[in-house]
Chains A and B, each alone.
Chain A
Amino acid sequence: MCVFIEICALVNSMLVFLLLRNPPAETLTVFRFTGNLSVTFRIDGMGSLFAGMAAFLWPLALLYSFEYMKHEQNEKSFFLFYVITYGITLGIALAENILTMYFFFEMLSMVTLPLIMHSRTREAILASRSYLYYMLGGAAFAFIGMIFILTYGTTSSFVMGGVLDPGKIGDKTNLLLFIYVLCFCGFSVKTAMFPFSSWLPKAGVAPTPVTALLHAVAVVNTGAFAAMRVTYFSFGTELLRGTWAQNVVMTLVIITIVYGCSRALKETHIKRRLAWSTVGNLSYILFGVVLMTPLGLAGGMAHMLFHSFMKICSFFCAGAVIYQTGRNYVHELNGFGWKMPKVFVCFTVTAFALTGVPGLCGFVSKWNLCKAAVASENPLAYAGVAALMISALLTAIYMLTIVVRAFFPGRDFDCETISDVRDPNWLMILPLVVFVIVMFCFGLHSGPVIRFLQGN
């Protein structure tokens, strides 16, 4: 079964990459709901980046989960939904119009639900419930935004610069801004923006491959991706820049950046700590989005890409620890660095990358975000830069304490207590190593990616 799934995923990824290399110019309409509302696909720069990312990560994550899922039950249903999610993520990436995106957006919430409640424990059920409430609630508000786009826009397709028809707007600008705020918040529920962030740490009860790939990468990034689409391609930055709406969303985003990191600092459960860290980092992306400049978009996209690698890698490390030893809390990790050297070396690199050490990819995206923020000459954006710096420091604290604990347990630590701890087998290590290499590559040679993003 494993081989079959892996081959499927690989072939699919190949196809995606092939498609991205030779992007067809025309759009593909699958079917129509009503009138001009249809499910349509198209490949553009942003979408291809997201699709490429998903296509790259999925086979690796699958490899990891084959090993990981051995100690969970119901592997079949797990892989069923895991693979479906792949398709739906691609659907979001390649959506041509807002309806298609919304359609897949909702589907994604539904399909990932069984993955969260996979273990069927009371905790998992509660988590999946709150996950669902948040998701559907968010979608309900995003829906309002979509309706407005459909009504006030010239077309439902995504067009860089927005599709709103000035003639139709008339004196309703303020209303439209209000709707934008609603819509943005609605989509950002998926990226766990404050005050809608509490679902993400709770969803950490899912098996680690899910937390890693979905709740650090695919699902949450679709939220950010959707926010980008509505901001840049539907509402248009012309209308939004410099308005109170921008200030409102930016304030929320900045609060989230600091809030997420602070909560991560307080948390002692590894996966939940990483989840809170995700909350903070996703808001970096959103920060890029709400700058409402092309540079900001590029920065946000870059962070989306880089953060995916960093966070999936750190989650996989955490998962490897849980899989091998069943330990869940940070204070149980004393001395693990020497017993699971491969995992923890990877984790250390990831920690540095997340912190934003130059030479690793986290620095590049942070730099681009800050640069864009300064260039936007918005006083609030300056505050955002400060928030990014504070968050970087907090990130250093909560990540590096783990590293130090793992490698320097203290002189009086008795190594015998963890003598049975081992590195996992190659299925788990290979993805980690690949991610670390990717982090270095992007960190040292980010030019092409950034140029590609700015070319959008």
Chain B
Amino acid sequence: MDFVQNFPFMSIILSLFSGPLSSILSGKWAKRVNTAVIVIIGIMSACVLGYVTGTGEEFIYYMGHFPAPWGNEIRVGELEAFMALFFCAIMLLSMLGGTKERLTQIEDSKQNLYYIMVNLLLCSLLALIYTNDLFTAYVFVEINTISACGLIMIRQNGRTFEAAIRYMIMSLLGSGLLLLGICFLYSVTGHLLMSNIQQQVQLLAASGEYHIPLLVALGLMSVGLAIKSALYPFHSWLPDAYGYSTVSSAAILSSLVSKGYIFLLIKIFYRVIGFEIVCDSKVIHVLYVFGIMGMIMGSVNAIQENNIRRMIAFSSVAQIGYIYMGLGLGTEAGVVASVYHVLSHAATKSLLFVAASGLTDASGGKVRFEDLQGAGYRHRLAGIAFTVGSLSMVGLPMFSGFISKLLFSQEAVGHNHKMLPTLIALAVSTVLNAVYFMKTVITIYMPAPKDTEADRQGRNIAMAEQPGKSVALICFIILNLMLGLSSEPIIHLIQNGLEMFY
């Protein structure tokens, strides 16, 4: 066994233990440790990715060398490694982009608490990505929920408490459903390890037995994870949670946490149930319909918003709609598109959150549009970054959003019944995206009228004044362009990764 194969496990453990470690450190040191951990894990993930790509096949890591069903397995393919790497990168940049906000918005005594949460969150995300065991997945889902709540709540004001409680309730409902689903599966198949369950499910599907329990289990798990990742009708917790928490939290929550669940759902589809069976069930149609509704309604809500942070949050609802719509198409290419959109949305949404915070900084901390007038001139980099993010969201060629739009629609064209609704929804949603994002872009480039609130509150911010944010923004922009311009290797990677899921 190669040494590299230990890396996934090590990265989980590393982030898990760095959490408690942070509790005894001062805020400053906790931050350094956290950064180091993320970087190290990122490097390790890159090594794993290189290794898996090199061998061309996935590997299974037995914790403590106990084989299933007693031991706990980790299963690593290209996609997993890539996801881990990508999540680390996004997390690093998000943390970097929100450095200043964290210092000002979080009480000094709780600084290190924040890093505990972030470390735990990273750990749980990695676990969700790597684990081959449903129950382990559930455990980390819960850890994820709790640390996410902490991230929301740590900026202490009334809105965040309310938001955190909402998030908690909805999330717990989601995990409860997930747990129920897992129980069903366990009782039907007698296994918790994904590969084992799949074998059993295949047999059951072939024999036609336990059709309904299986369907119920699938439905429960899908709905549970959909609630947690804020699919349209279950999104009510999201705007407050993203809109009022500190920037890093919002960026991480929107681009990583919800995506972790989606990744888990994809894994369940492929690894636990088997993609064919999922496609045969009605569940994906439900997901598809909700996805489409989310695409439209999220944008409609966003248009009505007057708060830039909440607007971006609602846009997340729409984007998650895209992802579920892709899953709902029920084809391999649809899933590829969805995974790609996971990446592109993660890169774009955190960019937008960080850029928006830059713009509000330049407008005296105000988040309403009328106060943001001219912010693009006061904080140039943030303005450019926000424009890039918006264009990507609208799906302009060159930016990442275009490629995912392209993938979605190319896939949809081949579909018999879902083609027209998908295409039309895509077009309408593009228009709606354009309406609110470009409206914002135009607003920030419209000089504030003299002697108004916006004019007086505003101050110019140079790039060097907020080095962390500037670096983060530049990296995000580059990332976005990379995804937009050289998407081919990434798409290949996703395809190969999904192949390995079988």
B430 within 8 A of A: yes
- Chain B residues with CB under 8 Å of A113's CB are 442
Q: How far is the CB of A100 from chain B (nearest CB, A)?
A: 9
Question: Cβ of B487 and Cβ of A137 under 8 Å apart?
Answer: no
- Chain B residues with CB under 8 Å of A450's CB are none
Interface of B: prevailing SS: helix
- Chain B residues with CB under 8 Å of A151's CB are 410, 413-414
B201 within 8 A of A: no
Question: Cβ of B397 and Cβ of A103 under 8 Å apart?
Answer: yes
B438 within 8 A of A: yes
- Chain B residues with CB under 8 Å of A132's CB are 434, 438, 442
- Chain B residues with CB under 8 Å of A147's CB are 406, 409-410, 412-413, 423
Question: Cβ of A107 and Cβ of B409 under 8 Å apart?
Answer: no
Q: How far is the CB of B50 from chain A (nearest CB, A)?
A: 23
Interface residues of A in 167-193 (CB under 8 A from B): 175, 182
Q: How far is the CB of B295 from chain A (nearest CB, A)?
A: 12
Q: Given A34-B488, A117-B445, A140-B431, does the pair A110, B410 have CB atoms closer than 8 Å?
A: no
A107 interface neighbour in B397, B434, B446, Cβ under 8 Å: B397
Interface residues of A in 429-450 (CB under 8 A from B): none
B435 within 8 A of A: yes
B283 within 8 A of A: no
Question: Cβ of B397 and Cβ of A34 under 8 Å apart?
Answer: no
Number of interface residues of A (CB under 8 A): 35
B211 within 8 A of A: no
- Chain A residues with CB under 8 Å of B491's CB are 34
Q: How far is the CB of A323 from chain B (nearest CB, A)?
A: 23
B103 within 8 A of A: no
B398 within 8 A of A: yes
Interface residues of B in 406-461 (CB under 8 A from A): 406, 409-410, 412-414, 419-420, 423-424, 426-428, 430-431, 434-435, 438-439, 442-443, 445-447
Question: Cβ of B446 and Cβ of A144 under 8 Å apart?
Answer: no
Number of interface residues of B (CB under 8 A): 36
Interface of A: prevailing SS: helix
Question: Cβ of A133 and Cβ of B431 under 8 Å apart?
Answer: yes
B485 within 8 A of A: yes
- Chain B residues with CB under 8 Å of A175's CB are 419-420
Cα separation A25 to B197 with both chains bound (whole Å) = 60
- Chain B residues with CB under 8 Å of A106's CB are 396-397
Nearest residue, chain B, Cβ from A136: B434
A4 within 8 A of B: no
Q: Given A106-B396, A107-B397, A151-B413, does the pair A120, B427 have CB atoms closer than 8 Å?
A: no
Pick from B403, B405, B419 the residue with the most CB of A within 10 Å.
B419
Question: Cβ of B434 and Cβ of A125 under 8 Å apart?
Answer: no
Q: How far is the CB of B343 from chain A (nearest CB, A)?
A: 14
Cα separation A129 to B397 with both chains bound (whole Å) = 20
Nearest residue, chain A, Cβ from B407: A34
- Chain A residues with CB under 8 Å of B247's CB are none
CB pairs A–B below 8 angstroms (11 shown): A31-B485, A34-B487, A35-B488, A102-B397, A103-B397, A125-B446, A129-B439, A136-B394, A137-B427, A143-B395, A150-B410
- Going nearest first, the 10 A-B pairs with the smallest beta carbon separation are A136-B434, A140-B430, A140-B427, A103-B397, A137-B431, A147-B409, A151-B413, A132-B438, A144-B423, A34-B488
Interface residues, chain B, with chain A CB atoms under 8 Å away: 391, 394-398, 403, 405-406, 409-410, 412-414, 419-420, 423-424, 426-428, 430-431, 434-435, 438-439, 442-443, 445-447, 485, 487-488, 491
